[in-house]
Structure 1
Amino acid sequence: MHETIEVLIIEDDQRIADIHRRFIDKIGGFTVVGSANTGAEAKDWIEALQPDLVLLDVYLPDMLGTELISYIHEHSGDSDIIVITAAAEAEIVKKAFRGGVADYILKPLTLDRFRESLLSYRVKREAFAGEGKLPEGSIRLLWNKTDTASAEPAATPKGIDPITMEKITGFLDTAEEGMTAEKIGREIGVSRSTARRYLEYLVTEKKAGAELIYGMIGRPERRYFLKKP
């Protein structure tokens, strides 16, 4: 019988946090013990709950989620981390990798990818259950996926509406300094998360680029710009 793995969700978009919670309920063997929407709130939950697993977003209102990785290691040493984010910048991915996260999942998230990640994590976690020396197979498993199918290129996400995409690319085409997902969402009447899903799809298709812009105050903004032919 599997132990129940306690999960803390750190995600600024409450709707996405609720999706994580519903996905966890479908998988079984995991239970959500808390949910934080900001970095400051996450720190309180991490120290109070000492969760087994943290699902960590990168874009938080008051900091980048990667800044929390060392904090989690210091204040909840037995907690593991899976990053779930739209961030694909090399510097951010590198920080996560060097921070020893168990997995890095790009949004938009699917149940199959979520399930594969959590079940793979549970198998690896159980490798530590015994005492004494670990067999070579268990040690190799810790640094490899249990399912190599996840290494295949991701399929085009469903739900990409051509009309919405045309509106988004139209706004990007007029923005010389780029636009945030929040601003584009307001302009065309969709949520920030929906706009970000389309924008990240354009980035994966190499039709758009993205960069973090650091202002004088507040969190850095992720701005998207259309790549010119």
Structure 2
Amino acid sequence: MIIEDDPRASYALESTINQHTDFEVVAVSETYADALMQFELYKPQLVFVDITLPDGSGLDVIQKLRRDGANCYFIMTTAERDATTVEHAVQLGISDYLVKPVRMSRVRQALDDYKLYRQKLACHDTVDQGAIDLILGKRSTNAPVRKTPKGIDATTLESLKQILKEEKLTDFSVDDMSERMNVSRITVRRYLEYLESEGVVKMVLNYKTGGRPRRLYQLTDVNLLD
């Protein structure tokens, strides 16, 4: 659906959208009042909205439809460039913001982005952080998915897990693991603290030292290493 009071801009936008094989304009409105009626009649999935209308604001149209439970996406098409207006539009949940004079190549990009977003979302029943980041465009589809936090190398972590799995250590210290892995105590401590945060190991204090208690680690469940 298009909400635009300039006939020339409306015609150009409608023509470009209809040339896309996956989209069709079902309604065109030039006023606030007519837009509300047309939306109720056609229930469009995607709405292009101009801000300046003869009887109101396109932002008010979005706000009204959102308040009424509209299940759709909005793209702004406007000459308004001030930061306050852009911020207001973003707060209303727009999918894109196109500044006039709008290039038709930018309209096609907006349509393709919307289509890709819906396709990605349709591929998931539930989503983890990586999938959400991908859907929202926070990272490239070609970017590797990081499975460990910053500072934790996956290969080193796997080596540590392998030692724990094979040797079935009950009580071990940072020094014990440092010798086995041939890495520094500081590095081993960082990895053990990570495994502790994941519930794989737990830290206990051994007071049978005749002095300061010694930090030891225990494996909680070998199955958590898989």
Compared CA separation, residues 48 and 75, structure 1 to 2 (3 A):
farther
Partners of 2:85 and 2:63 lie apart in 1 by 14
The whole-number CA distance in structure 1 between the counterparts of 2:50 and 2:72 is 16
CA distances 1:112-148 after superposition (whole Å, capped 9, x unpaired): 111111100111112232452135444113433799x
1:83 Cα shift?
0.3
User: C-alpha separation between the residues in 2 aligned to 1:146 and 1:39?
Assistant: 37
Q: Normalising to structure 2: TM-score of the pair?
A: 0.57
The aligned amino acid for 1:78 is N
The aligned counterpart of 1:132 is 125
Match of 1:144 among 113, 126, 137: 137
Structure 1's 145 and 62: CA in aligned 2 closer, same or farther, altered over 3 A?
farther
Distance 1:15 1:72, change over 3 A: same
The answer to whether the aligner puts 1:73 opposite 2:66 as a matched pair is yes
Q: Verify: 1:55 aligned to 2:48, yes or no.
A: yes
Q: Is contact 1:46-1:75 (8 Å) kept?
A: no
Identity of aligned residues (%): 31
Q: Which of residues 78, 92, 96 is equivalent to 2:85? A: 92
Contact in 2 for aligned 1:9/1:55 (Cα 8 Å):
yes
- Write the distance in 1 (CA, Å) between the matches of 2:45 and 2:108: 17
Which ranges of 4 or more aligned residues in structure 1 deviate by more than 2 Å?
74-77, 134-138, 141-147
Aligned length: 140
What's the RMSD between the two structures over aligned residues? 2.0
TM-score normalised to the size of structure 1?
0.57
Partner of 2:101: 108
Equivalent residues of 2:77, 2:98 under 8 A apart: yes
Q: Distance in 2 between matches of 1:37 and 1:145?
A: 35
Structure 2 counterpart SS, 1:81: strand
Structure 1 pair 70–40 and aligned structure 2 pair: CA distance change class (3 A): same
Unaligned runs of 5+ in 1: 1-7, 148-229
Highest CA radius of gyration, 1 or 2? 2
Check conservation: 1:39, 1:63, Cα contact below 8 A. Answer: yes
Aligned runs of 1:1-229 on 2, under 5 Å? Answer: 8-130=1-123, 132-134=125-127, 136-144=129-137
The change in CA–CA distance for 1:142 and 1:71 in structure 2 (over 3 A counts) is farther
Q: Distance in 2 between matches of 1:146 and 1:83?
A: 24
Q: Provide structure 2 residue ranges, at least 5 long, that are not aligned to the other structure.
A: 141-226
Secondary structure of the corresponding residue to residue 15 of structure 2: helix
The answer to whether the Cα contact below 8 Å between 2:48 and 2:76 also exists between their aligned partners in 1 is yes
